[in-house]
Amino acid sequence: MPMIECDNLVKIYKTPESEVFALQGLDLAVERGEMLAVIGNSGSGKSTLLNMLGGLDVPTAGKLIVDERDMTRLNQKELIMYKRLSVGFVWQNNSRNLVPYLTAVENVELPMTILHRRGRRERAHELLDMVGLTHRRRSKLHQLSGGEQQRVAIAIALAANPPLLLADEPTGNVDSKTSDSIMELFRRLNRETGVTIVIVTHDMRLRKQVNRVVSIRDGRVSSEFLYTRSYLESIGELGEGFGHEHDGEQEEETEQKEWLAVDRHGRVTLPGDYMERLGLVGRTRIEASIEEGFIRISGGEHDAK
């Protein structure tokens, strides 16, 4: 089974005056061991999805299966154990990740202390070494840079060895160089440990740093971006002398493909930039026809295949 399965997921927040649809029939599957980025503007529903995956919120309707658990049917005790053992969180705000008066190693030990795990100090040292912070194990929060704090947060999230790691805007408070190093750390951990990683962000730059990106718009999956290895890169693995060389090293070339999501009713949500480029913003109806194997969409003056 997939690690995550969302089927027609709906989340409605009610206020005395109105109802707000945060998710409107979202469908998504994430395979075990996959590293996925969920991208969307503010209010698109991406943070709501992350909270439900982490057991912090429950769907209003639809099905949500995480690690073979039906998240809509967990009792309070099962939910607590799920959050302790099955999922690790990395938040954008480091005050939610770290206890400021504890050292880095003590912060990493904390979730294992709650679980009464033996060998906590050794495991904490191992995790800090894994994230490249062996030399910072005795440092407190104010002595660490933003990137180092986020690395400690990642070590804390992995302390219970969960099969799922969730990250909410993990590079939102760091510069681009530090952001790249954090994303490289996520890729390495995914590759070496097999942990499933879901990263929620509004930063479109991160799109090229994972193999699969899901774009959420108006509470639904609107499109997916898949990165596949190029022909030259694949040929380069067949032996020395093949492939494209640059400064003595083989260049990594990838091809990006965008796929639009189609729900069970055949509905397709067009990305916002498509709507703008085709002059469809504000239209309630558009013309569609099939021509030579293509679906042709026309908004009147502007049209495209």
Q: Which residues is 224 bridged to in the sheet?
A: 214, 259
Q: Taking Cα atoms as reference points, which of 156, 147, 36, 6 lies closest to residue 89?
A: 156
**Is the distance from CB of 39 to CB of 204 less than 8 angstroms?**
yes
Q: In the prediction, which pLDDT does 79 show?
A: 93
Q: In the prediction, which pLDDT does 116 show?
A: 84
Q: In the prediction, which pLDDT does 224 show?
A: 65
Angle, alpha carbons 60-29-223 (nearest 5°): 90
- Rounded percentage of the chain residues whose pLDDT exceeds 90: 38
Query: Beta strands 19-30 and 4-14: pairing type?
Result: antiparallel
Question: Which residues, 6+ apart, have CB-to-CB distance to 75 below 8 Å?
Answer: none
Q: Where are the domains of the chain?
A: 4-241+251-264, 270-305
Q: In the prediction, which pLDDT does 259 show?
A: 66
**Is the distance from CB of 60 to CB of 49 less than 8 angstroms?**
no
Tally of residues, the chain: 305
**pLDDT < 70 regions, the chain:** 95, 222-261, 263-265, 267, 271, 284, 299-305
Query: For 4-241+251-264, which CATH superfamily applies?
Result: P-loop containing nucleotide triphosphate hydrolases (3.40.50.300)
Rounded Cα distance, 205 and 17, in Å: 38
Q: Which two tokens stand for residue 27?
A: 């469908």
Q: In the prediction, which pLDDT does 255 show?
A: 52
